[in-house]
Amino acid sequence: SQTIHQWPATLVQPVGSPLSLECTVEGTSNPNLYWYRQAAGRGLQLLFYSVGIGQISSEVPQNLSASRPQDRQFILSSKKLLLSDSGFYLCAWGTPGAGDTIYFGEGSWLTVV
Amino acid sequence: GENVEQHPSTLSVQEGDSAVIKCTYSDSASNYFPWYKQELGKGPQLIIDIRSNVGEKKDQRIAVTLNKTAKHFSLHITETQPEDSAVYFCAASKNDYKLSFGAGTTVTVRA
């Protein structure tokens, strides 16, 4: 069966510091991969998606970037965090050709102070 | 782009009663409508979905209905239990990798 792992689960970072959140998927090949952000008490905003290694699509202009160095690895990064980057970050995966069904990881809570 | 509106934002029901959450979408090309349940501090879990070629789908106490003409779809939970308390999100997409989510409904089941 497929599983998705995301880490770290929580982190507190000072303004201006770098960020790296990592996500890996097991039990499937060539998944579609996604990063979403959920601000406190709000809905889900798509940040990035990837349909293959090195292929990244950005949905909103922001202070973040994403990379996919391996087939089942997706990384969310920032060089300098802003207060507004605080939120709950969710990695998700989907099967190509299976429509837009996606499955989320457990999420990473980021607090920028 | 697609705009999904979800109502109500909060819903309190007595244990054993039914809960209904409604969503509307704007893009008539949308053809996939999933529902997710999110418990506190966790990632959303897919609980049921429906595609545009059917009007209703059921899975035990959960059902989803779709009205393509009116561009709305609903989640029905029957015989609610305390473990149904969570935030529920609807979403819509047109097979373009992009799910558009509603703002969520916080459901509280009173014992």
B102 and A101: CB-CB below 8 Å? no
At A98 the pLDDT is 66
**pLDDT average, residue stretch B38-49:** 94
**pLDDT average, residue stretch B39-65:** 93
Comparing CA positions, the residue from B20, B30, B35, B21 lying closest to residue B71 is B30
10-residue mean pLDDT series, chain A (113 residues): 93 97 94 90 87 90 90 96 94 83 94 96
For chain B, the average pLDDT equals: 94
Which chain B residues contact residue A66 at CB under 8 A? Answer: none
> What is the rounded CA–CA span in Å between residue A4 and residue A36?
14
Please name the residues in contact with B58: beta carbons below 8 A apart, sequence gap of 6 or more. Answer: none
In chain B, the residue whose alpha carbon lies closest to the alpha carbon of A106 is: B43
**pLDDT average, residue stretch B39-67:** 94
> What is the rounded CA–CA span in Å between residue B82 and residue A39?
26
At A2 the pLDDT is 87
Comparing CB atoms, the residue among B42, B89, B96 nearest residue A107 is B42
Peptide bond into A96 cis (omega under 30): no
